[in-house]
Structure 1
Amino acid sequence: MAQQQISLPAKLINGGIAGIVGVTCVFPVDLAKTRLQNQRGGQQVYRNMIDCLIKTVRSEGYFGMYRGAAVNLTLVTPEKAIKLAANDFFRHHLSKNEPRLTVLKEMLAGCGAGMCQVIITTPMEMLKIQLQDAGRLAAQQRKLMVLPTMKLAAAGTVLSCAYSMGPPTAARRASAVQIAQELLRTQGVQGLYKGLGATLMRSDGHCWLLGHPLLGGLLPLFAHLNRLGQPSEGENAPFYWCFVSGCAAGCAAAVAVNPCDVVKTRLQSLSKSTNEESYSGVVDCVRKILDREGPKALLKGASCRALVIAPLFGIAQVMYFIGVGEFLLGQSPYNLYST
């Protein structure tokens, strides 16, 4: 089958819409994931995802669940543009006039694009995590303030709910711009790229495990699942099958690289509560987590992360299935399996 010409503007529109819709839908779950991953043993503020979201709404209001979402929404299109441009560059140099890249070269191109993508991804994650985790730190501080008064409660003193006490902290009011300015002032540009290695491992892990339609080639996990629903060779699977396959592939990949995401989150969290340790790098972080919290700690937030990545990847597949970008530009819909 002849290779179909791919429209970069249409791909950017599809990716941008998928990113905006996806982030809006799943951001509260992503916030819960960040807060659960940053909890250390013996300082548990939240029992699980639902408990985290309920306490967040009680103490910070409904929009408290969207702390840091503006950073993602602002940078989602530049992120896609860098990923696409880098992928096209690597694919061009790996093809050497071959009609179709091998799976290995597809993976290499995708991982190369992932390496370039972290130019945007790492600062975005850095700022997002500070905003997302501020509420957890504030709740933990209020909880510690309440503990000394528990004896009074036993004597008959009435206590207020720990999660509705006190005014918002300065950390909770800080904006992404203020955090970025402070990092640049105190640590320079490298301050925005803390946790770069862990971010790179997570991003490239996704490329290796499932790939992305934005990268022009589908890697084994999603392709295998979606192929089961194809009516015939070279045709797209039905709408619903495409979405379900994307969600299943995203879920599996999210859980597989969750340890990298835990390490990245810990490294990028600048504010620490009482008795929370600091880490000098990826190896030091992994060692301390294993020593003090055990292997299970590397899977903290895995269910939340699966609930985030699965619909995000499913929505991306749907955007390509529908061909919104191509429709807006008056082009023919892009067949995922024409490359």
Structure 2
Amino acid sequence: MSTKQLSKGRSVTDLIAGGTAGLFEALVCHPLDTIKVRMQLYRKSGQKPPGFIRTGINIAQKETFLSLYKGLGAVVIGIVPKMALRFSSYEFYRDLLRGPDGSITSGKTFLAGVGAGITEAVMVVNPMEVVKIRLQAQHHSMADPLDVPKYRNAPHAAFLIVKEEGFKTLYRGVSLTAARQATNQGVNFTVYSKLREELQKRQGTETLPGWQTSCIGLISGALGPLSNAPLDTIKTRLQKTTFANNENGLVRIMKIGKQLIKEDGVHALYKGITPRIMRVAPGQAVTFTVYEFMKGVLAPAPKTEQVAASKLN
């Protein structure tokens, strides 16, 4: 089999494995994302802001438990191609950056992750998040048939946003999303790759057990949000706005940041960091575990190839 055929086959495997991993991650972790968004959108009212547990309980009590899954349709529609694109583009950039002997440094692994983050942000993540945030921001009970929300579901929300505000609204905050995804995936893939490589060396095996993959995915997933929480909070506020604004994107970003600090202090930039870590970290644990499992199912490597691969990582 030619190198080109092998590369094509691996790309298809990365797409399918990444898409499947994304689907499982969304189903397991979406409620935490809804809580995070509500915390980030909370405005000071003279009372102490509710914590992530109280926010979740309030949503479930006032709007039913299913309200924790608001925006899931937008996520599922977007996350399958997002994860497929993330892993396939990461492997693509990683192959481009490998040395003549097939080795790759941590710095180049980071760059491959940054490239994957920017690619997914522009092509999938930003439009998906604008729709998701609009749905999650709606305070309505899903148990009351008379409480009709403006946005009924993800396709309806996307249609209304484009109709009322223009297609470019789906790309509101794209620079922040790209910066967030770039730092997230740069840190995520670098830490995951190095921890995985270390475990492979220590145990003398290419294939790690699922619980180890989950643990290193959990660790790598927790570090990204800590590096870019302010970007995520400002992005959420920016994408939630429904009015047209002709101000320069950077001007609006600075204005939202200054307003947040003025109203609630610097710590406001880290609103929702706890549920975000609680959502992203286990999400990455699920993602990497399912991804590695699916790769093993779709394209199990012969033992001779496993030994060679372990020397190149």
Q: If the TM-score is normalised by the length of the shorter chain, which range does it land in? A: 0.7 to 0.9
Asked which structure has the greater CA Rg, the reply is 1
Normalised by the size of structure 2, how large is the TM-score? 0.81
Q: Which residue of 1 aligns with 2:286?
A: 315
* 1:133 paired to 2:104: no
Residue 245 of structure 1: how far off its partner (Å): 1.7
Decide whether the 8 Å contact of 1:37 with 1:300 is kept in 2: yes
Q: Which residue of 2 aligns with 1:188?
A: 166
Q: Which residue of 1 aligns with 2:152?
A: 174
Decide whether the 8 Å contact of 1:32 with 1:53 is kept in 2: yes
Give me the CA root mean square deviation: 3.2
Secondary structure in structure 1 of the residue aligned to 2:108? helix
Match of 1:83 among 83, 86, 89: 86
Q: Could you say if the C-alpha distance between residues 84 and 250 of structure 1 is closer, same or farther in structure 2, counting changes exceeding 3 Å?
A: closer
Give the whole-Å Cα distance in 2 for the aligned partners of 1:225 and 1:87: 17
* 1:332 paired to 2:301: yes
For 1:32, give the aligned amino acid.
I
Residue 270 of structure 1: how far off its partner (Å): 2.4
Q: Which residue of 2 aligns with 1:210?
A: 188
For 2:300, give the aligned amino acid.
Q
Question: Cα deviations across residues 27-59 of structure 1 (Å, max 9, x unaligned)?
Answer: 111100000011122276961222222222222
Give the whole-Å Cα distance in 2 for the aligned partners of 1:21 and 1:206: 19
For 1:99, give the aligned amino acid.
G
Give the whole-Å Cα distance in 2 for the aligned partners of 1:43 and 1:182: 34
Q: Which residue of 2 aligns with 1:65?
A: 68
Residue 96 of structure 1: how far off its partner (Å): 7.0
More helix by share: 2
Question: Cα deviations across residues 120-171 of structure 1 (Å, max 9, x unaligned)?
Answer: 1000000000101112xx59xxxxxxxxxxxxxxxxxxxxxxxx99952433
Q: Could you say if the C-alpha distance between residues 224 and 255 of structure 1 is closer, same or farther in structure 2, counting changes exceeding 3 Å?
A: same
Give the whole-Å Cα distance in 1 for the aligned partners of 2:147 and 2:242: 16
Q: Could you say if the C-alpha distance between residues 250 and 193 of structure 1 is closer, same or farther in structure 2, counting changes exceeding 3 Å?
A: same
Give the whole-Å Cα distance in 1 for the aligned partners of 2:47 and 2:296: 48
* 1:48 paired to 2:48: no
Could you tell me which runs of 5 or more consecutive residues in structure 1 were left unpaired when the two chains were aligned: 140-163, 212-218, 273-278
Give the whole-Å Cα distance in 1 for the aligned partners of 2:197 and 2:105: 18
Q: Could you say if the C-alpha distance between residues 112 and 228 of structure 1 is closer, same or farther in structure 2, counting changes exceeding 3 Å?
A: closer
Give the whole-Å Cα distance in 1 for the aligned partners of 2:91 and 2:166: 31
Normalised by the size of structure 1, how large is the TM-score? 0.76
Give the whole-Å Cα distance in 1 for the aligned partners of 2:301 and 2:98: 25
Could you tell me which runs of 5 or more consecutive residues in structure 2 were left unpaired when the two chains were aligned: 244-249
How many residues of Structure 1 are paired with residues of Structure 2 in the alignment? 295
